Amino acid sequence: MPSYHQRGKIKLKNGQLSITARGKKPKHELKIEIPARNVIKAVAEEKKYYSSTAYMLMIHFVEQDGGEVSVELEIRSFGRRGRAQAISRWWAQTLTAIKEEDA
């Protein structure tokens, strides 16, 4: 999947995690639907680059066929690093809490 500034949304509703993003071309549009109970783990992480810091959310989950996969999302909040960091941590904690409830 090409990785360039794709604006997207992550949403949790009725036990379903939805990740959508628009690509430059329609063929690069992304739509992932994950039952929240299929999330193995979610981790918030900081990635340091030469002149900036990125706040990442890694979601590891089980697909319908039983295979384990992961998706890595960069959480952005322009001009507000602390907010991006808090959002990525919130998602990781929320998805982890759902997994722990099912255990």
Q: Which of 3-7, 36-40, 99-103 has the highest mean pLDDT?
A: 36-40
| Verdict on whether the full-model pTM lies above 0.85 | no
- 12 Cβ partners below 8 Å, 6+ apart? 18, 36, 94, 95
Show the domains of the chain with their CATH numbers. 8-102 (2.30.29)
Q: Mind listing the pLDDT tens digit for each residue in 14-51?
A: 989 999 887 777 777 888 899 999 999 999 998 888 77
Going from the C-alpha of 57 to that of each of 44, 65, 103, the distances in angstroms are 5, 24, 22
Tell me the three state secondary structure of residue 57. Answer: strand
- Give the pLDDT of residue 1: 46
Cβ atoms 70, 34 nearer than 8 A: no
Q: Can you give the pLDDT at residue 44?
A: 94
